[in-house]
Amino acid sequence: MIRFDIISAIPDLLTSPLSHSIMQRAVDKGLLDVQVHDLRSYGLGRYKQIDDYQYGGGAGMVLTPGPLDTIISELKNQRTYDEVIYMTPDGVTYNQSIANRLSLHGNIMIICGHYKGIDQRIRDIHVTCEISIGDYVLSGGELPAAILVDSIGRLIPGVLNNESSALFDSHQDGLLAPPIYTRPAEFKGHVVPEVLLSGNDALIEAWREKHSKSTQKSEE
Ligand code: SAH
């Protein structure tokens, strides 16, 4: 069971990606708990302000430290977090081995940035781990957070129907997955490789091995 607490200025962005299919089943089975916290409700003043101009000038608003600190501290008072993660393009680039490591934890907090990002002092005071999902920039940390929860959630034992199947996914064993086929055996003149219909497990295994590309290749 892993519990994620996600802090977001736009919680609606997180609802749909995590409330269908495998993730929803994981929640229903009690293996995954995802709590989304609306930063706006911790905003200051009449307008529930959560952002402000950047010191030193420059375009773009910054999420102010006060509301973030309040919600983070409130959560930290309730339980101990294994990691407080800030999703950010200048973090360490996410990959399967980070997902594997994080899947062994019980409580993970994720902070989603917005606009230009969050005040540096929140990173200095609270954040234990900074993760980027790739070398490109999105407008908020919500989609990156959903990617984290999905990729970690499917690794929790019992979430996938056939538990062992996650072990053979691409990137997990240093190989990329071989081609896969389902019915019909012939489609628009393209046939399924005969060996896969042979019922010979050893031959099938050898074929799959031969057609699994090494992970290194994708990093060219
Ligand atoms: N000014 C920042 C980008 C801010 S983008 C910079 O130049 O680095 C706004 C927010 O979107 C960030 O705070 C972060 O939470 C999220 N975000 C954008 N791209 C991301 C990425 N590649 N990985 C993880 N989070 C990202």
pLDDT at 55 over 70: yes
Given ligand 1 and candidates 50, 87, 133, which is best to mutate, with the most ligand atoms within 8 Å of its CB? 87
Q: Please, are residues 52 and 64 in contact by the beta-carbon 8 Å criterion? A: yes
CATH class of 173-214: mainly alpha
Interatomic CA distance for residues 33 and 148, integer angstroms: 14
Distance between Cα 79 and ligand 1 center (Å):
27
The mean pLDDT value for 40-56 works out to: 97
Residues of the chain above pLDDT 70, percent: 97
Interatomic CA distance for residues 140 and 145, integer angstroms: 9
The confidence score (pLDDT) of residue 164 equals 67
Distance between Cα 56 and ligand 1 center (Å):
20
pLDDT at 144 over 90: yes
Interatomic CA distance for residues 39 and 51, integer angstroms: 11
Average pLDDT of the chain is: 95
Give CA separation, 63 vs 7, 112, 195, in Å: 12, 10, 57
The confidence score (pLDDT) of residue 171 equals 87
Q: Name 119's Cβ contacts closer than 8 Å, sequence gap at least 6.
A: 62, 63, 64, 65, 68
* Ligand 1 pocket member 54 (CB < 6 A): no
* Ligand 1 pocket member 65 (CB < 6 A): no
Q: Name 14's Cβ contacts closer than 8 Å, sequence gap at least 6.
A: 6, 8, 34, 36, 142, 145, 146
Question: Which has more pLDDT, 218 or 14?
Answer: 14
Residues of the chain above pLDDT 90, percent: 90
Q: Where are the domains of the chain?
A: 2-153, 173-214
pLDDT at 217 over 80: no
* Ligand 1 pocket member 59 (CB < 6 A): no
The mean pLDDT value for 153-175 works out to: 85
The confidence score (pLDDT) of residue 163 equals 59
Distance between Cα 127 and ligand 1 center (Å):
15
Token pair in block for residue 121: 């002092």
- 36-40, 156-160, 170-174, range with the lowest pLDDT: 170-174
Q: Position 149: which residue type?
A: V
Q: How many CB atoms lie within 10 A of CB 12?
A: 10
Q: What is the CATH number of domain 2-153?
A: 3.40.1280.10
pLDDT at 162 over 50: yes
The confidence score (pLDDT) of residue 161 equals 82
Given ligand 1 and candidates 135, 138, 143, which is best to mutate, with the most ligand atoms within 8 Å of its CB? 138
Nearest of 52, 173, 159, 164 to residue 103 by alpha carbon: 159
The confidence score (pLDDT) of residue 220 equals 43
* Ligand 1 pocket member 43 (CB < 6 A): no
Distance between terminal CA atoms of the chain?
36
pTM for the complete prediction?
Answer: 0.94
The confidence score (pLDDT) of residue 214 equals 81
Given ligand 1 and candidates 137, 143, 148, which is best to mutate, with the most ligand atoms within 8 Å of its CB? 137
